[in-house]
Chain A
Amino acid sequence: MSEETKEALFSPKNKKLIAEPININNPVTIQVLGICSALAVTVQIDNALIMSIAVMAVLVIGNVLVSLMRNAIPSKIRIIVQLVVVAALVIIVSEVLKAYVYDVSKQLSVFVGLIITNCIIMGRLEAFAMGNKPWASALDGVGNGFGYGLVLVIVAFFKEVFGSGTITIPGFEKFHVIPQAFYDMGYENNGLMLLPPSSLIIVAIYIWFQKSKNPELIDEHGS
């Protein structure tokens, strides 16, 4: 029995695997991965939630599968093997979404398929699952999935509240946040918030906020 197999399931090292991606090593804002879908499916909170759950499911299962096979995959064809694992999982996720939440899957349209090329998934498979044990890889998947979901929901929250004045949570009715009295006084929803460019600016502000809280992340030589 080696030292590692005796390690507790939630040792400090494993806890770090979940905690770090949520804040100081966030996949979207710090590692800059998986931006495509993070920005495009954030018009409503329920879309963002379902998208993050889908990505997290693919990420955790894919991480575990690749980690189990890591010693059997020849390094020359590893990208293709990883792609096939991910593509098969995404097909399952897409069929499940079509069966249970058809409306949302219509709104997500091509972005469900694009989970295949989501850089977070390929990045984590390549950087983590190929060199670690299944349990650690699963935790890494959960952590990165949460980090991704967190950014998605924050962006979607601002876009939906200021863009259409509502909050949509799956399973509940649309909730109107801005009271009618405001509209009577002349307040109007900001249509610009619903358009693609505003999600970029919200993410940029989030990065600004996050890096001001953690100055060690600042990229002094960046341009």
Chain B
Amino acid sequence: MELVNIFVRSAFADNMIFTFFFGMCSYLAVSKTVKTAVGLGAAVIFVLGITVPLNFLLETYILKEGALTWLGEEYASYDLSFLSFIMFIAVIASTVQLVEMLVEKFSPALYGALGIFLPLIAVNCAILGGALFMQQKQFNNVGEATVYGLGSGFGWFIAIVLIAAIREKIKYSHIPGPLKGVGMAFILTGLMGLGFLGFLGF
């Protein structure tokens, strides 16, 4: 039950795009057609589902204050949390690289669909944001962290697919010249964000 709660909360109420604006750059750049949006969205779910639990383990067993106790009593007072940014980004960049190679080797079809998006994802704020929020939320175990990663990814997926569908149709509307392109995408995201605020109980 707790897991379902975390999933729904991270996917809808704390939606990455509409509440925190994580990953807006690729969200705006890759949302011109539904097909590419689905590809990037799937890649984000995939990478978040892997890196959040990995970073959770790193946080619990290496970085947190007192996390090194398993090495021996004398390490109990060490606090390495100032290293978390650089460790998280290293884990993310290398995981993305590794995943890219594995997918290319074992599933060429999936690589064809996700391949070009994977390198983009290493510097997507949504992935590092997921790791940093995981650090703040202090989950109890790896299961919860994984579900949080998958839920956040799913929320991001919904957001990018929805905006891509709207942008495909809005091509046929008369929009004031200066608002064409990015301007309209911002307004659309704002309006969708207002809708998603409903999940927070406004």
Bits for A69-99, please: 1 = Cβ < 8 Å to B, else 0. Answer: 0000000000110011001101100110000
Interface size on B, residues (CB 8 A): 53
Please indicate the chain A residues that have their CB under 8 angstroms from the CB of B190 in the complex. Answer: 197-198, 200-201, 204
Residue pair B186, A203 in contact (C-beta under 8 Å) = yes
- Please judge, given known A-B contacts A220-B180, A223-B32, whether A113 and B132 are in contact too, CB under 8 Å: yes
Interface string of B176-202 (1 = CB under 8 A from A): 111111111011011101100100001
Is the CB of A131 closer than 8 A to any CB of chain B?
no
Task: Name the one of A91, A119, A219 contacting B82, with C-beta atoms under 8 angstroms.
Answer: A91
Q: List residues of B whose CB falls within 8 A of some A CB.
A: 18-25, 28-29, 32, 82-86, 88-90, 93, 119, 122-125, 127-129, 132-133, 136, 167-168, 170-171, 176-184, 186-187, 189-191, 193-194, 197, 202
Q: Which residues of A contact B29 (CB under 8 A)?
A: 32
Q: Which residues does A use to contact B, with CB under 8 Å?
A: 29, 32-37, 39-40, 79-80, 83-84, 87-88, 90-91, 94-95, 109-110, 113-114, 116-119, 122, 195-198, 200-201, 203-204, 207-212, 215, 217-223
Tell me the complex Cα distance, A119–B126, Å.
12
- One of B128, B183, B186, B187 near A116 (C-beta < 8 A): B128
Residues of B within 8 A of A221 (CB): 180
Task: A49 to B105: give the CA distance in the assembly, Å.
Answer: 47
Smallest CB-CB A-B distances: 8 pairs: A222-B181, A211-B178, A197-B193, A200-B190, A219-B181, A35-B24, A204-B186, A110-B132
* A196 adjacent to B25 (CB under 8 Å): no
Q: Are A219 and B86 in contact (CB under 8 A)?
A: no
Q: Which residues of B are found within 8 Å of A87, using beta-carbon distances?
A: 85-86, 89-90
Q: Is the CB of A91 within 8 A of B93?
A: no
Which residues from B are CB-within-8-Å of A95? 82
Complex interface: chain B residues within 8 A of A209 (CB): 178
CB of B20 to closest CB in A, whole Å: 6
Bound CA–CA A217/B194 (angstroms): 29
With A117-B123, A223-B171 in contact, is A207–B132 under 8 Å at CB?
A: no
Residue of A33, A118, A200, A211 near B186 (CB, 8 A) is A200
Q: A79-B93, A222-B181 are in contact. Are A33 and B25 (CB under 8 A)?
A: yes
Give the one of B125, B127, B128, B167 with max A CB within 10 A: B125
B28: nearest residue on chain A (CB-CB)? A32
Q: Chain B residues near A204: list those with CB within 8 A.
A: 179, 183-184, 186-187, 190
CB pairs A–B below 8 angstroms (11 shown): A32-B182, A37-B125, A83-B93, A83-B123, A90-B85, A116-B128, A117-B124, A117-B129, A118-B125, A200-B193, A222-B182
